[in-house]
Amino acid sequence: MAFEIVVLVSGFGSNLQALIDAAKAHPDQYRIKAVICNRPQAYALERARQANIPYFTICAAAGQTRESYDQQLNQQLETLQPDLIVMAGFMRILSAGFTEKWQHKLINIHPSLLPKYPGLNTHQRALDARDAIHGISIHYVNAEVDGGPVIAQAQLEIKSQDSAETLAQRIHELEHQLLPAVVLAIATKKIHYNLAHHQVTFLGDEIQAPLSLENLYRAKSTD
Ligand code: GRF
C-alpha cells in the first residue's frame, strides 16, 4: 500500500500542487490522502478539488483556544491515520501537546535558512540584513516555532535588484523541487526520524548537515 500523506494548507497551495504533481508521477510511492485547510477561501482547496483529493476545512471559531483548535485537528488526523503530515504553508502555530504527539510524522516548509529567520517576513528580513544568501528549510516540527531538526535546505544568491516579491517567487521555485523530493525520500524510508535521539538519518546515517537537492536526487537515481 502506498505511503499516505495529509497536507495542511492555508493559502495559495503552490506547494500542495507540487506534491500533487509528484504523487501523480510516482503513484506507487505516495498518495495524498487528504488536505486540511484552516481558511475556507484558500485556493489550495480548489487544487485539492481538481485533483479529487478529499479536503476538510477546520476554521478557528472566534475566541477558540489554540489547544481546542488543535484537538479538532488531532481528531481529524486520528481518523485519517496518515504516515506523514506535511505543513505546506499552514499559517498556524501548533500547541506543544499536538507537536509532541505527531513530531515524528510532522514536517514543515519554511522560507529561510533556519535557524535564521524563524517566523514571518523572512524575505524582507534577509534583504534588511544584506544577506548574500537566502533559502528554504524543511524540518521536523517541535513545540518551538520553526524549530525542530532540519532535514534539507536549498539556497539562492540574493541579487542587488531583488525585492521581497522577486525573492518570494524564486524561493517558491526552490520549494517546489525540494518539498516533493523530501516527501519521496521519507516515503521510501531513505529519510527517517529517530524519535528517541531526535536525529534525522539519511540512508541509515545521522545527517551532519541539512541535505541538499543533489543528495536527494543522487539517492533516487540509485533506486
Ligand atoms: C511557502 O513559501 C512556505 O515556505 C511558507 O508559506 C508559503 C506557502 O506557499 N510556509 P503556497 O501556499 O504553497 O503557494
The pLDDT profile of the chain, 223 residues, written as one tens digit per residue, is 789 999 999 999 999 999 999 999 998 999 999 999 999 999 999 999 999 999 999 999 999 999 999 999 999 999 999 999 999 999 999 999 999 999 999 999 999 999 999 999 999 999 999 999 999 999 999 999 999 999 999 999 999 999 999 999 999 999 999 999 999 999 999 999 998 888 999 999 999 999 999 999 988 766 6
Residue type, 24: K
DSSP for 80-129, written as a single string = H--SEEEESS---PPPHHHHHHHGGGEEEEESS-TTS--SS-HHHHHHHT
Structural domains present in the chain: 3-221 (3.40.50.170)
Atom of ligand 1 nearest to the CA of 88: 13
- Establish whether 110 is a catalytic residue: yes
Q: Is 180 in the pocket of ligand 1 (CB under 6 A)?
A: no
Rounded-to-integer distance, Cα 219 and Cα 222, Å? 5
Q: How far is the CA of 111 from the centre of ligand 1 (A)?
A: 8
Q: How far is the CA of 12 from the centre of ligand 1 (A)?
A: 8
Q: Is 135 in the pocket of ligand 1 (CB under 6 A)?
A: no
